[in-house]
């Protein structure tokens, strides 16, 4: 994948890392939808619809409201991370993703210890995952890497089929959609194999690896070219 956009700005390893984060998003949303009340931890557009259905008596009201609220709080907290100064984008991604990974691992540990059948604990896990996704996405927006949002696919699909742009731009869009699909597929397969918390563990491992890679890359000579 090209390291720079059409505008010429170098993004270093950020595009590749964001694609990996997109895989983790698909896995987290798979387990939240299949096991945590039929709602999403990351796809808030879907949750707004499910919240409306819940108001109409569809049964998803509390879970959708919890996910929306936790995501919003996470976004508010993540948006205020490193506001002072002008941190390197690699350091910003590393710090934000490390906290995201810690939250996902904690949710996975609770699920492993107590299972995913208790409604109060399921809501705790859902709240943690949704908070972590809001946190992460608010930080990713500050990286300003085009077409790699890790969560929002509607805009990406619209751009893919509704715009005539260069190969690099369309390639990024296709890759992002593919990575989200891969994450959801993997999470769904692990769930079918009765490995209920495995998607969270794998997602946490991906997040940890991305955090470490971003930190190391930001400390290398020449990293100022994509700071």
Asked whether residue 93 is domain-assigned, the answer is yes
**Is 7 within a domain?**
no
User: Is residue 170 one of the residues assigned to a domain?
Assistant: yes
Q: If you average pLDDT over residues 30-50, what whole number do you get?
A: 93
Range of the domain at 122: 14-226
Could you read off the pLDDT of 59-82 as tens digits, one per residue?
A: 789 999 999 999 999 999 988 876
- 89 occurs within a structural domain: yes
Residue 2 falls within a domain, yes or no? Answer: no
Number of domains in the chain: 1
Mean pLDDT of the chain, nearest integer = 88
Task: Give the integer Cα–Cα distance in Å for 60 and 65.
Answer: 8
Mean pLDDT confidence for 34-52: 93
- Contact between 27 and 186 under an 8 Å Cβ cutoff? The reply is yes
pLDDT attached to residue 7: 47
Mean pLDDT of 148-166: 71
Confidence of residue 169 (pLDDT cuts 50, 70, 90): confident
- 214 vs 151: CA distance, rounded Å: 19
pLDDT at 38: 93
For residue 180, is it within any domain?
A: yes
The answer as to whether 155 is a domain residue is yes
**pLDDT(5) > 80:** no
Which pTM was predicted?
0.89
Look at 11-20, 137-146, 164-173, 192-201 and tell me which has the smallest mean pLDDT.
164-173
Query: Distance from CA of residue 125 to its chain's centroid?
Result: 15
6 lies in a domain?
no
4 pLDDT more than 70: no
Residue-wise over 18-42: b if at least 16 C-beta within 10 A, else e? bbbbbbbbbbbbbbbbbbbbebbbb
Instruction: Read off the pLDDT band of 6 (50, 70, 90).
Output: very low
Q: Are 94 and 13 in contact (CB under 8 A)?
A: no
- Mean pLDDT calculated for residue range 157-167: 68
Number of neighbouring beta carbons within 10 Å of residue 141: 15
Residue 87 has pLDDT above 50, yes or no: yes
**What is the domain-level CATH number for residue 46?**
1.20.1250
In order of 117, 118, 197, the CA distances from 35 in angstroms are 8, 11, 10
**pLDDT at residue 199, rounded to an integer:** 97
Map 169-202 to HEC letters.
HHHHHHHHHHHHHHHHHHHHHHHHCCCCCHHHHH
């Amino acid at each position: 994948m090209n390291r720079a956009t059409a505008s010429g700005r170098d993004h270093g390893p950020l595009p590749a890392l964001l694609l990996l984060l997109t895989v983790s998003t698909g896995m987290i949303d798979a387990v939240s939808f299949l096991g945590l009340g039929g709602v999403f931890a990351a796809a808030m557009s879907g949750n707004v619809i499910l919240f409306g259905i819940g108001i109409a008596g569809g049964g998803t009201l509390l879970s959708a409201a919890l996910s929306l609220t936790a995501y919003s709080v996470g976004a508010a907290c993540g948006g205020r991370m490193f506001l002072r100064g002008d941190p390197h984008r690699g350091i910003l991604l590393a710090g934000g993703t490390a906290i995201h990974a810690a939250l996902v691992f904690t949710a996975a540990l609770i699920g492993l210890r107590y299972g995913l059948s208790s409604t109060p604990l399921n809501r705790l896990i859902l709240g943690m995952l949704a908070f972590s996704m809001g946190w992460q996405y608010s930080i990713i927006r500050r990286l300003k890497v085009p077409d790699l949002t890790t969560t929002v696919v509607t805009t990406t699909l619209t751009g893919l089929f509704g715009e005539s742009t260069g190969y690099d731009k369309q390639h990024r869009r296709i890759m992002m959609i593919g990575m989200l699909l891969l994450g959801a597929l993997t999470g769904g397969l692990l769930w079918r194999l009765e490995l209920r918390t495995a998607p969270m563990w794998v997602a946490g491992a991906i997040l940890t690896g991305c955090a470490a890679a971003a930190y190391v890359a930001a400390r290398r000579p020449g990293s100022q070219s994509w700071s």
